Amino acid sequence: MDFSELRETIEEAELVDAHAHNIVAANSTFPFINGFSEAHGDALSLAPHSLSFKRNLKDISELYGCEKSLSGVEEFRRVHGLQLISLTCFKATKISAILIDDGLTLDKMHDIEWHKAFAPFVGRILRIERLAETILDKEFPGRSSWTLDTFTANFITVVGEIFGLKSIAAYRSGLEINTNVSRREAEEGLAEVLQAAKPVRITNKNFIDYIFTRSLEVAQQFDLPMQIHTGFGDKDLDMRLSNPLHLRTVLEDKRFLECRIVLLHASYPFSREASYLASVYSQVYLDIGLAVPKLSVHGMISSVKELLELAPTKKVMFSTDGYAFPETFYLGAKKAREVIFSVLRDACVDGDLTLHEAVEAAKDIFSENAVRFYKIKLPVKSFGSTNSISPIPAKIKITAQSDVSLVRVLWVDASGQHRCRVVPAARFQDVVEKNGVGLTFATMGMTSFTDGPADETNLTGTGEIRLMPDLLTRRRIPWQTREDMVLADMHLRPGEPWEYCPREALRRVSKLLKEEFDLVMNAGFENEFFLLKSVLREGKEEWMPFDSTPYSSTSAYDAASPIFQEVVSTMHSLNIPVEQLHAEAGKGQFELALGHATCTHAADNLIFTREVIRAIARKHGLLATFMPKYSLEDIGSGSHVHLSLWQDGKNVFMGSSRHGMSKVGEEFMAGVLHHLPAILAFTAPLPNSYDRIQPNTWSGAYQCWGKENREAPLRTACPPGISDGYVSNFEIKSFDGCANPHLGLAAVLAAGIDGLRRHLTLPEPVDANPSSLDAELQRLPRSLSESLGALKEDAVITELIGKKLLVAIKGIRKAEIDYYLKHKDAYKQLIHRY
């Protein structure tokens, strides 16, 4: 067989190095020729007369054209300097992208930015244990010590722009991860860590398992892969605990089935075990770095062959595991090309692959698998590119945020309005990430009709908070060039949440649901909105409906299709799932339904969704409004929300107790029904909201519930795919687009918790139009005044949401009532605020 095509493909391949570490500003060469740095483990170091040492020395000497001796190589490095040495090595490797785990702390190591002089694309991998240790090494501001809550809050908000997470749990307590570690166990583990001397080194198994599980949640939420160290390593690693088979509990946990996981270092000497896992678990991938080039030639070839015994070639990735010295990148790439050629050639000879399949496998292993897995956008083609690295390359800024000029820091106030401060990117990175943006207390007391604090909110222009960006929510703005946006938390000072913060309020009540009942509430929003076009009448601008077509009209969608093509594409780029969209019953009205997520993430997604729809509509010369009743003569717009309860990755709202739901599902929903009049003060926050909540408009005007009854404010749903007789969620229809989603969901959660605590039960469902039972059913509040009155009497919501925040909300609602009572047509201006 002629293998020239295979050889040429491999030799010319531009590589994606999916796992490496920082280069250091040093001239010593013995560790890289030896095969391991001290940081990688003395136990694995090779003697100067070992086969690996001699092989590496020969290869480096030939690259440099110097004397084949250690002293000859060291002299060459000393004379030419690190910059030229690095250029030489990286030009020879043809590496087009590097993902760097900078959690391996080396003396005098260069930052990630420095490496961009040698590869067109450089991205960061975040080592989770090192991140945790860095956080705990700092003194907690204003507190005597860290708590589990303050640690977690900081842990999930300092990630920044990354392309994956990495765990070295194998080094600390092993890979037998308990994904259901209890809060008490985690707190005790944290206490043990804090009692030890600094710098912090986390070894407590419960706390490591807690960090690992939280990281998987983050990875799944933001569609990030997780690298896991498996197999051999430093001398402090117990290889009995680094066998990847220990990960089966993690791999079978239903919460993390969609989380992409890569087993590093070929899992050597457990390569067959790793191959098996990749063959039976769709989320498992493999990386050959460290095994290649650290093992003997026979060991490298055997290890890669074992990986490919069961694992598909589309699940195996190349990396150099380069560290400290540029020569390690060169040796890793050189040996990988030789080993992969040998393995694929033998597979062709044995009849396992055709030559064409081997060529495609080479492309996949060296580049394409990693591009897909890490979702890298390469500035040059992976294969067949005529570009090469310039001998003196300029630093190229390629990472997702490197060319950003401005960052929008977003928050939603208590009246449901989206607001932002805009900060130059350099200042955001240098100052705002750590210290936030100053903001007056008054902003959380503002109403829908004026930008000043309402009376009776106890909030004035005296006092200042900090808008602290939640870096996990940082997103590139697709409809603007060189701009990012990020959601903010409200802190009195960095690390100390303000009690008026809506996002913190939802977190606080969510935490209560988890601690008391081990439950998580998921939410999925339906967004109804009007598209309006500007017309001039008698020299005045008026906003009229985009069209006048009926419900689910094909012509309505056809006319708006260019807008929605862009909206859906933008949503996808923001990692927000769209389930469906259609024309609604109002003139110019449409609906876009989102996939469900944990309630905190669902609320964040709703904010971004509103931003997207309004921005794309504006781009097309239209105005999108979410206000509840744009026209008093037409149908209204809601922001219906579907809710379910989850435990250990399973929907536990469903059940066979009664009505197709579980006991906890019924109790939770009964609590929501009981408190619904008060909840409306959060979910229907304007007088205009109650123009929408009317009988016979599918908006839910009576205090009742029904099975698939769209006239009921609470509706249990059995979507396609759910077994007959069961319900997967319930819908709240009396939730509109002027509501702050975090506050609205916090009120719903508080009500549900009360239902669980008191074991409330639901009345019989209403299977008719509730308006036909007017004499039997209680009417929900007909006005904001009535819902505000119900809120004032609701001790449960007051207690769980917080008295001070409730005072502000009540003050704002009272001001809304008074203003719109005096200004009957003022509601027409709401299209510009919502």
Give the angle subtended at the CA of 367 by the CAs of 362 and 370, to the nearest 5°: 120
One DSSP character per residue, 74-88 reads HHHHHHHHHHHHHHH
* pLDDT of res. 419: 94
> Strand 483-493 vs strand 464-469: parallel, antiparallel, or unpaired?
antiparallel
Secondary structure of 430-459 as H, E, C letters: HHHHHHCEEEEHHHHHECCCCCCECCCCCC
Query: 544: part of which helix (H) or strand (E)?
Result: strand 540-545
* pLDDT of res. 391: 30
> Strand 496-497 vs strand 483-493: parallel, antiparallel, or unpaired?
antiparallel
Q: Tell me which residue of 400, 571, 577 sits closest to 483, measured CA to CA.
A: 400
* pLDDT of res. 140: 62
Q: In whole angstroms, what is the distance from residue 88 CA to residue 391 CA? A: 8
Residue-wise pLDDT for 348-380, tens only, equals 999 999 999 999 999 999 999 999 999 998 764
Residue-wise pLDDT for 92-136, tens only, equals 999 999 999 988 888 888 888 889 888 989 999 999 998 888 888
Residue-wise pLDDT for 730-787, tens only, equals 999 999 999 999 999 999 999 999 999 999 999 999 988 988 888 788 999 999 999 9
Query: 425: part of which helix (H) or strand (E)?
Result: helix 425-427
Contact 38, 340 (CB under 8 A): no
* pLDDT of res. 627: 92
The SS3 assignment for 632 reads coil
CATH 3.20.20.140 for domain 3-374: yes
* pLDDT of res. 55: 82
Q: In whole angstroms, what is the distance from residue 711 CA to residue 709 CA? A: 6
**Going by C-beta distance under 8 Å and a sequence separation of 6 or more, which residues neighbour residue 502?**
412, 414, 490, 740, 742, 743, 746
> Strand 714-717 vs strand 705-707: parallel, antiparallel, or unpaired?
parallel
The SS3 assignment for 728 reads coil
* pLDDT of res. 383: 33
For 436, left (φ over 0), alpha (ψ -120 to 50), or beta?
Answer: left
> Strand 520-537 vs strand 622-625: parallel, antiparallel, or unpaired?
antiparallel
**What is the distance between the terminal CA atoms of the chain, rounded to a whole angstrom?**
69
Residue-wise pLDDT for 382-407, tens only, equals 333 333 333 322 222 223 345 788 99
**Going by C-beta distance under 8 Å and a sequence separation of 6 or more, which residues neighbour residue 165?**
125, 126, 127, 128, 215, 218, 219, 224, 225, 226, 227
DSSP state of 490: E
Q: In whole angstroms, what is the distance from residue 778 CA to residue 782 CA? A: 11
Q: Tell me which residue of 613, 592, 609, 612 sits closest to 532, measured CA to CA.
A: 613
215's tokens: 């990281």
Q: Which residues of the chain have pLDDT under 50?
A: 27-47, 158, 380-401
Q: In whole angstroms, what is the distance from residue 761 CA to residue 223 CA? A: 38
Q: In whole angstroms, what is the distance from residue 282 CA to residue 409 CA? A: 37
Q: Tell me which residue of 638, 691, 663 sits closest to 834, measured CA to CA.
A: 638
Q: In whole angstroms, what is the distance from residue 497 CA to residue 203 CA? A: 29
Nearest 5°: phi and psi at 718? -125, 80
Count, residues in the chain? 834
Contact 36, 44 (CB under 8 A): yes
* Cis, bond preceding 199 (omega within 30 deg of 0): yes
* pLDDT of res. 630: 87
**Percent of the chain having pLDDT more than 70?**
91
Alpha carbon distances (Å) from 593 to 576, 638, 639, 719? 11, 12, 9, 13
Q: In whole angstroms, what is the distance from residue 280 CA to residue 272 CA? A: 13
* pLDDT of res. 719: 79
CA dihedral (581, 585, 586, 589) in degrees, to 10, reads 10
* pLDDT of res. 385: 34
Burial label, 741 (beta-carbon count in 10 A; 0-12, 13-18, 19+): buried
Q: How many helices (H) and strands (E) does the chain have?
A: 28, 29
Q: For tokens 């505000």, what's the residue? A: 788
Q: Tell me which residue of 398, 374, 14, 366 sits closest to 166, measured CA to CA.
A: 374
The SS3 assignment for 125 reads strand
Q: Return the CA Rg of the chain.
A: 30
One DSSP character per residue, 553-589 reads -HHHHHHHHHHHHHHHHHHHHTT--EEEEEE-SSTTE
466's tokens: 């900090």
pTM for this predicted structure = 0.59
* pLDDT of res. 72: 84
Q: In whole angstroms, what is the distance from residue 316 CA to residue 362 CA? A: 10
Q: In whole angstroms, what is the distance from residue 215 CA to residue 72 CA? A: 46
Q: In whole angstroms, what is the distance from residue 670 CA to residue 759 CA? A: 9
User: Residue 302 CA to chain centroid, in angstroms?
Assistant: 38
* pLDDT of res. 402: 53
Q: In whole angstroms, what is the distance from residue 165 CA to residue 127 CA? A: 6
Q: What are the start-end ranges of the E strands in 113-240?
A: 121-127, 164-167, 226-228
For 367, left (φ over 0), alpha (ψ -120 to 50), or beta?
Answer: alpha
Contact 408, 422 (CB under 8 A): yes
Query: Which CATH number is correct for 507-831, 3.30.200.20, 3.40.50.80, 3.30.590.10, 3.90.226.10?
Result: 3.30.590.10
Contact 662, 652 (CB under 8 A): yes
Largest CA distance in the chain: 100
One DSSP character per residue, 602-621 reads HHHHHHHHHHHHHHHHHHTT
For the chain, the domains span 3-374, 507-831
DSSP state of 58: H
**Residue 557 burial (CB count, 10 A):** 16
Looking at residue 304, its amino acid is V
Q: In whole angstroms, what is the distance from residue 624 CA to residue 566 CA? A: 14
* pLDDT of res. 386: 32
Q: In whole angstroms, what is the distance from residue 433 CA to residue 416 CA? A: 25
Looking at residue 137, its amino acid is D
Alpha carbon distances (Å) from 244 to 175, 259, 301, 313? 7, 16, 20, 19
* pLDDT of res. 276: 96
645's tokens: 């309860």
**474 CB-side CA count, 13 A:** 24
CA dihedral (109, 112, 114, 115) in degrees, to 10, reads 100
